Amino acid sequence: MNVFITGANRGIGLGFVHYYLDKGCEVWACYRRDRGGLAKLDDSRLHVLQWDISQDSPSNGDSDLPDKIGVLINNAGIYGASRDAAQSLNAVTPEDMHKVFDIDCVGAIRVVKLLHTRLIGAKGIIANLSSKMGSSDDNTSGGCYAYRAAKAALVIVSKSMAIDLAPKGVRVITLHPGWVRTDMTDHSGLIDVDESVIGMTHVIDNIDLYEPGAFVAFDGKVVPY
């Protein structure tokens, strides 16, 4: 099976790369600037692409893309201003909002627009990584305006993708990876990358148990939205 992963040079994205390579899959792994952990991997089934998803296609075009994609994982994302205070109501700026929204929501649309015919050919699966911070039901602390808004928008985008692509055999799900110990969380999370990835891949493998476009956590529980 061909697997395509964005934001794959570190953290959760790199965890997905390791997982699917171990399963014997052909993996197309994308990075923005620095290959990071991808540079340490020596595997003939690994295909590394430079793709900043603020752009419509990889830096060298679409010549190195697979003809069919069984699983697309839209993992690339940013938190935005690193200090929560900078994303407070008084401090957040339109520029902050636009930057995070462009990567965390619009980026997934760019990727799917380029790859959807390859997903249709394989009757594949799209997994968009959001966050429980995008759930209004779960928001009890406020703040984090840019990140929350972008991740919430991605849930809606995923639902529309699920509806639009279902007649063509493509299934879509939105995933919450949990609070994972990565660079984004300053390694202060509750679970490690392997636990998160194993949980999310189990959800992907059992996607037909969920409604199209469902928002599901790494532990298989549907996230109230």
| Within a domain: 197 | yes
| Within a domain: 168 | yes
| Within a domain: 223 | no
What's the confidence (pLDDT) of residue 96? 92
Domain span holding position 160? 2-217
Instruction: Round to the nearest angstrom and report the end-to-end CA distance of the chain.
Output: 32
Number of domains within the chain:
1
| Within a domain: 95 | yes
Blockwise average pLDDT, block size 10, the chain, 225 residues: 98 97 98 96 97 94 92 95 76 93 98 98 98 88 92 98 98 95 62 94 98 97 94
| Within a domain: 111 | yes
- Give me the helices (H) in 23-123, please: 94-101, 107-122
pTM: 0.94
| Within a domain: 222 | no
What's the confidence (pLDDT) of residue 188? 64
What's the confidence (pLDDT) of residue 84? 63
What's the confidence (pLDDT) of residue 86? 76
Q: Is 63 exposed, middle or buried (0-12, 13-18, 19+ CB in 10 A)?
A: exposed
Please report where in the chains the tokens 């201003």 appear, as a residue.
81
State the CATH number of the domain containing residue 68.
Answer: 3.40.50.720
| Within a domain: 145 | yes
